Protein backbone atom coordinates (compact mmCIF):
# COMPACT_ATOMS: atom_id res chain seq x y z
CA UNK A 1 0.00 0.00 0.00
CA UNK A 2 1.26 3.47 -0.87
CA UNK A 3 2.39 5.78 1.89
CA UNK A 4 0.37 8.92 2.59
CA UNK A 5 1.66 12.48 2.57
CA UNK A 6 -0.68 15.10 4.01
CA UNK A 7 -0.09 18.78 3.25
CA UNK A 8 -1.48 20.92 6.07
CA UNK A 9 -1.41 24.48 4.75
CA UNK A 10 -2.74 25.90 8.04
CA UNK A 11 -3.58 29.63 7.65
CA UNK A 12 -1.91 29.89 4.24
CA UNK A 13 -1.85 31.22 1.54
CA UNK A 14 -3.45 34.67 1.45
CA UNK A 15 -5.49 34.45 -1.76
CA UNK A 16 -7.46 31.99 -3.86
CA UNK A 17 -5.11 32.64 -6.78
CA UNK A 18 -2.12 31.56 -4.68
CA UNK A 19 -4.01 28.54 -3.39
CA UNK A 20 -4.81 27.34 -6.89
CA UNK A 21 -1.23 27.87 -8.02
CA UNK A 22 0.12 25.91 -5.06
CA UNK A 23 -2.41 23.12 -5.57
CA UNK A 24 -1.59 22.81 -9.28
CA UNK A 25 2.11 22.74 -8.54
CA UNK A 26 1.81 19.98 -5.97
CA UNK A 27 -0.91 17.84 -7.56
CA UNK A 28 0.41 14.31 -7.12
CA UNK A 29 -0.98 10.90 -6.32
CA UNK A 30 -0.64 9.81 -2.66
CA UNK A 31 -0.91 13.44 -1.52
CA UNK A 32 -3.78 14.82 0.56
CA UNK A 33 -4.05 18.62 0.35
CA UNK A 34 -5.64 20.42 3.32
CA UNK A 35 -6.15 24.12 2.52
CA UNK A 36 -8.08 26.69 4.59
CA UNK A 37 -11.87 26.28 4.36
CA UNK A 38 -12.41 29.20 1.99
CA UNK A 39 -10.13 27.65 -0.62
CA UNK A 40 -11.55 24.12 -0.60
CA UNK A 41 -13.63 24.49 -3.74
CA UNK A 42 -10.87 26.41 -5.54
CA UNK A 43 -8.40 23.62 -4.80
CA UNK A 44 -10.94 20.91 -5.64
CA UNK A 45 -11.33 22.49 -9.05
CA UNK A 46 -7.66 22.20 -9.99
CA UNK A 47 -6.33 18.98 -8.44
CA UNK A 48 -6.56 15.83 -10.56
CA UNK A 49 -4.36 13.34 -8.72
CA UNK A 50 -4.24 14.54 -5.10
CA UNK A 51 -7.07 14.07 -2.61
CA UNK A 52 -8.77 16.93 -0.79
CA UNK A 53 -8.75 17.26 2.98
CA UNK A 54 -9.95 19.83 5.51
CA UNK A 55 -8.24 21.14 8.64
CA UNK A 56 -11.17 20.69 11.01
CA UNK A 57 -14.93 20.16 11.27
CA UNK A 58 -17.73 20.65 13.79
CA UNK A 59 -19.60 17.78 15.41
CA UNK A 60 -23.10 18.92 14.36
CA UNK A 61 -24.40 19.00 10.79
CA UNK A 62 -26.43 22.19 11.17
CA UNK A 63 -27.62 24.73 13.69
CA UNK A 64 -26.66 27.92 15.51
CA UNK A 65 -22.89 27.38 15.56
CA UNK A 66 -21.33 30.57 14.28
CA UNK A 67 -18.10 30.18 12.37
CA UNK A 68 -18.21 26.37 12.23
CA UNK A 69 -18.33 23.97 9.29
CA UNK A 70 -19.99 20.56 9.17
CA UNK A 71 -18.93 17.28 7.69
CA UNK A 72 -21.87 17.45 5.30
CA UNK A 73 -20.68 20.82 4.02
CA UNK A 74 -17.14 19.49 3.63
CA UNK A 75 -18.36 16.52 1.62
CA UNK A 76 -20.32 18.87 -0.63
CA UNK A 77 -17.06 20.73 -1.32
CA UNK A 78 -15.35 17.51 -2.39
CA UNK A 79 -13.50 16.76 0.85
CA UNK A 80 -12.55 13.14 1.65
CA UNK A 81 -10.26 13.56 4.67
CA UNK A 82 -10.27 15.80 7.73
CA UNK A 83 -7.61 16.64 10.31
CA UNK A 84 -8.94 16.45 13.87
CA UNK A 85 -7.29 17.32 17.17
CA UNK A 86 -4.23 19.13 15.84
CA UNK A 87 -2.09 20.42 18.71
CA UNK A 88 -2.48 24.01 17.55
CA UNK A 89 -6.23 23.76 18.00
CA UNK A 90 -5.86 22.02 21.34
CA UNK A 91 -3.45 24.68 22.59
CA UNK A 92 -4.73 27.88 20.97
CA UNK A 93 -8.46 27.20 20.89
CA UNK A 94 -8.92 25.02 23.95
CA UNK A 95 -10.03 21.96 22.04
CA UNK A 96 -10.57 19.14 24.53
CA UNK A 97 -10.35 15.37 24.23
CA UNK A 98 -14.14 15.21 24.43
CA UNK A 99 -14.50 17.66 21.56
CA UNK A 100 -12.07 15.62 19.52
CA UNK A 101 -14.09 12.46 20.21
CA UNK A 102 -17.29 14.10 19.00
CA UNK A 103 -15.56 15.31 15.85
CA UNK A 104 -14.18 11.85 15.05
CA UNK A 105 -17.67 10.40 15.47
CA UNK A 106 -19.16 13.12 13.24
CA UNK A 107 -16.54 12.57 10.56
CA UNK A 108 -17.43 8.89 10.32
CA UNK A 109 -21.14 9.68 10.25
CA UNK A 110 -20.59 12.10 7.38
CA UNK A 111 -18.47 9.70 5.34
CA UNK A 112 -15.13 11.39 5.92
CA UNK A 113 -11.81 9.76 6.82
CA UNK A 114 -10.39 11.31 10.01
CA UNK A 115 -6.74 12.13 10.60
CA UNK A 116 -6.40 12.10 14.39
CA UNK A 117 -3.41 14.04 15.74
CA UNK A 118 -1.81 13.08 19.04
CA UNK A 119 1.42 14.10 20.73
CA UNK A 120 3.10 15.49 23.83
CA UNK A 121 4.49 18.92 24.70
CA UNK A 122 8.10 19.56 25.67
CA UNK A 123 7.13 19.79 29.34
CA UNK A 124 5.29 16.47 29.16
CA UNK A 125 8.22 14.88 27.39
CA UNK A 126 10.66 16.18 30.00
CA UNK A 127 8.46 14.61 32.69
CA UNK A 128 8.47 11.25 30.85
CA UNK A 129 4.73 11.56 30.18
CA UNK A 130 4.84 10.90 26.43
CA UNK A 131 3.09 7.52 26.46
CA UNK A 132 0.62 8.67 29.10
CA UNK A 133 -0.41 11.68 27.00
CA UNK A 134 -0.70 9.72 23.76
CA UNK A 135 -2.72 6.98 25.47
CA UNK A 136 -5.10 9.52 26.99
CA UNK A 137 -5.63 11.29 23.67
CA UNK A 138 -6.19 8.03 21.81
CA UNK A 139 -8.51 6.49 24.37
CA UNK A 140 -10.61 9.65 24.49
CA UNK A 141 -10.51 10.50 20.80
CA UNK A 142 -11.49 7.01 19.67
CA UNK A 143 -13.92 6.30 22.52
CA UNK A 144 -17.05 6.59 20.33
CA UNK A 145 -15.75 4.67 17.32
CA UNK A 146 -13.75 1.69 18.64
CA UNK A 147 -16.30 -0.80 17.29
CA UNK A 148 -16.28 0.76 13.82
CA UNK A 149 -14.68 -1.28 11.05
CA UNK A 150 -13.55 1.80 9.18
CA UNK A 151 -10.36 3.57 8.18
CA UNK A 152 -8.58 6.18 10.26
CA UNK A 153 -5.15 7.81 10.12
CA UNK A 154 -3.32 8.51 13.37
CA UNK A 155 -0.67 11.20 13.12
CA UNK A 156 1.88 11.23 15.92
CA UNK A 157 3.03 14.85 16.11
CA UNK A 158 5.24 15.62 19.08
CA UNK A 159 4.18 19.17 19.91
CA UNK A 160 7.73 20.18 20.79
CA UNK A 161 8.90 19.38 17.25
CA UNK A 162 6.21 21.21 15.26
CA UNK A 163 7.62 24.21 13.44
CA UNK A 164 10.99 24.01 15.21
CA UNK A 165 13.03 22.42 12.46
CA UNK A 166 14.01 19.70 14.93
CA UNK A 167 12.03 16.52 14.29
CA UNK A 168 11.91 13.53 16.59
CA UNK A 169 14.12 10.55 15.71
CA UNK A 170 12.92 7.66 13.54
CA UNK A 171 13.84 5.32 16.41
CA UNK A 172 11.49 7.12 18.81
CA UNK A 173 8.78 7.13 16.16
CA UNK A 174 9.10 3.39 15.65
CA UNK A 175 8.69 2.89 19.39
CA UNK A 176 5.58 5.08 19.28
CA UNK A 177 4.14 3.05 16.40
CA UNK A 178 4.56 -0.12 18.46
CA UNK A 179 3.04 1.55 21.50
CA UNK A 180 -0.01 2.78 19.55
CA UNK A 181 -0.62 -0.60 17.89
CA UNK A 182 -0.38 -2.39 21.22
CA UNK A 183 -2.73 0.11 22.85
CA UNK A 184 -5.32 -0.29 20.10
CA UNK A 185 -5.29 -4.05 20.63
CA UNK A 186 -5.67 -3.64 24.39
CA UNK A 187 -8.69 -1.36 24.07
CA UNK A 188 -10.40 -3.60 21.52
CA UNK A 189 -10.29 -1.30 18.51
CA UNK A 190 -11.83 -2.65 15.30
CA UNK A 191 -10.54 0.29 13.26
CA UNK A 192 -8.19 -0.08 10.33
CA UNK A 193 -5.39 2.28 11.31
CA UNK A 194 -2.48 3.82 9.46
CA UNK A 195 0.13 5.57 11.61
CA UNK A 196 2.12 8.49 10.22
CA UNK A 197 4.66 10.99 11.57
CA UNK A 198 4.43 14.78 11.67
CA UNK A 199 6.62 17.46 13.21
CA UNK A 200 9.16 19.43 11.16
CA UNK A 201 9.18 17.02 8.23
CA UNK A 202 11.16 18.35 5.26
CA UNK A 203 12.63 16.82 2.14
CA UNK A 204 16.05 16.55 3.78
CA UNK A 205 14.81 14.41 6.69
CA UNK A 206 11.72 12.67 5.26
CA UNK A 207 13.59 9.60 4.05
CA UNK A 208 14.91 8.87 7.54
CA UNK A 209 11.29 8.28 8.59
CA UNK A 210 9.61 7.02 5.44
CA UNK A 211 12.16 4.28 4.72
CA UNK A 212 10.65 2.30 7.60
CA UNK A 213 7.62 0.25 6.58
CA UNK A 214 6.03 0.77 9.99
CA UNK A 215 5.84 4.55 9.40
CA UNK A 216 3.07 4.80 6.81
CA UNK A 217 3.36 8.43 5.82
CA UNK A 218 3.89 12.01 6.93
CA UNK A 219 1.87 15.04 7.96
CA UNK A 220 3.71 18.06 6.57
CA UNK A 221 3.23 21.66 7.68
CA UNK A 222 5.51 24.49 6.54
CA UNK A 223 7.31 22.43 3.90
CA UNK A 224 3.99 21.81 2.13
CA UNK A 225 3.84 25.50 1.16
CA UNK A 226 6.84 25.15 -1.14
CA UNK A 227 6.09 23.35 -4.38
CA UNK A 228 9.51 21.76 -4.74
CA UNK A 229 9.62 20.61 -1.13
CA UNK A 230 6.30 18.80 -1.08
CA UNK A 231 7.03 17.19 -4.44
CA UNK A 232 10.32 15.82 -3.12
CA UNK A 233 8.64 14.43 0.01
CA UNK A 234 5.96 12.69 -2.06
CA UNK A 235 8.62 11.22 -4.36
CA UNK A 236 10.51 9.91 -1.32
CA UNK A 237 7.30 8.33 -0.01
CA UNK A 238 6.71 6.62 -3.36
CA UNK A 239 10.07 4.85 -3.06
CA UNK A 240 8.92 2.99 0.04
CA UNK A 241 5.50 1.58 -0.75
State the virtual CA torsion across 144, 147, 148, 154 in degrees, nearest 10: 70
Among the listed residues 88, 137, 157, 216, the single catalytic one is: 157
Among the listed residues 86, 120, 216, 229, the single catalytic one is: 86
Whether 212 is catalytic is no
The residues annotated with a catalytic role in the active site are 86, 157
Amino acid sequence: MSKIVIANWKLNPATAKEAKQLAKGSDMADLIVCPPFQFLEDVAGVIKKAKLGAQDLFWEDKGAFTGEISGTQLRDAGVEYVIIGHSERRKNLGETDEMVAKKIFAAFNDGLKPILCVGESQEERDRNKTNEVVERELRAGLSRVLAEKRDIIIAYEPVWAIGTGNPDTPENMLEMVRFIKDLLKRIGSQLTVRIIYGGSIKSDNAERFLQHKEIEGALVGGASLTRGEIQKIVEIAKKYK
